[in-house]
Amino acid sequence: MRKSLLSLIPFLTACAGEPPQNIGIVEGRLTACPESPNCVSSYASDEEHSIAAIDATLSQIEAVLVSLDEANIVEAGSNYLYAEFTSRIMGYVDDVEFLYEAASGKTQVRSASRLGQSDLGANRKRIEAIRAAIR
């Protein structure tokens, strides 16, 4: 049994994928979503990818994230927050970014899967759960 479980380790770590090199703040905005349906962004204008910005500060969002077992905050700055979310069963990693805009008092958001084509709505559900936790 132990040998069977150990043989799964390379497969499960492969689900994590490599951290993206194209994220962060670019020209004052978060990077656009790819064409695949496994990403949502408050900067997107198409129905598939679009999601509303969050009415919250980064401190409020960070307080929610630290309470979530699947979240790992990778970078936290004065107006930018980047976290990795790892699924419990398969170990898939999604990259979630927040950019606070002081002028509007809103936090822009982008949540994208590292691997695959579809996320079955996981990124949208995650952002909506964070939004609900802040309310």
Domain ranges of the chain: 2-134
pLDDT tens for the chain, 135 residues long, are 544 434 444 444 445 677 778 889 999 999 999 999 999 999 999 999 999 999 999 999 999 999 999 999 999 999 999 999 998 888 899 999 999 999 999 999 999 999 877 888 899 999 999 999 998
Contact indicator for 55, 124 with CB cutoff of 8 Å = no
Tokens of 107: 């936090």
Residue type present at position 130: I
The pLDDT of residue 70 is 95
The pLDDT of residue 10 is 43
The pLDDT of residue 16 is 62
Q: For the domain bounded by 2-134, which CATH number is listed?
A: 3.30.310
